[in-house]
Amino acid sequence: MQHLKTFTPFFTICLLCVSFVFASGSDVDIEEFISKHKARIEKAAPDDWKTFADCANALISRRIAAEEVLQWIDQSIKVKETIYNRTIKGDFLVVKGKIKEAQAEYVRAIELARETNKKDEIPGIQWKILISMGIENYNNFHTGGQ
C-alpha cells in the first residue's frame, strides 16, 4: 500500500505533463494547418533539414502522426542528424504508441548532445524518457501487461 501512495502522485504528475506536452488545440482548422505545413515542405530545399523537422514537429504537437510526417523526420535526419530531429522522431513514436522505439530515439538525442557538448539539452530529453515510461506503465496497467 505504501508503494501505491508514492506512485500515485508521481503518476498523476506524469499524466499532467503528457497532457501539457502533447496537448492539441481545436482553435485552428486541422486541414488548413496540415496544408500550410505541406506547402512549406513543398517549397523547402531537399537539404533544408530544419524546415522538414519544424513541420513534423508542428504536426506532432497536434498529435497528427501520419506516415508522411515520419518521412519528413527521416528526410531531416538524412540531411543532418541533430538533437532536435531525433527528439522529434521520439515524440512521433510516442504518439504512435511505439514507446521502446521512442526511447531509443531519445537516447540517441542524448548521445548527440554529449558529442556536440550541448549537455544543457539532456534534462529535457530525460524528461521525455520519464514521460514515455509513465505512458508505457499506464498502457501496461490498462491492458493487463499484454
Domains of the chain listed by start with CATH number: 29-143 (1.25.40.10)
Ranges of residues in the chain with a pLDDT under 70 are 1-28, 144-146
Q: Tell me, what's the pLDDT at 75?
A: 97
What pTM was computed for the model?
Answer: 0.77
pLDDT (0 to 100) of residue 23: 53
The DSSP result for the chain, as a single string, is -HHHHHHHHHHHHHHHHHHHHT---SSS-HHHHHHHHHHHHHHS-TT-HHHHHHHHHHHHHTT---HHHHHHHHHHHHH---HHHHHHHHHHHHHTT-HHHHHHHHHHHHHHHHHTT-GGGHHHHHHHHHHHHHHHHHHHHHHTT-
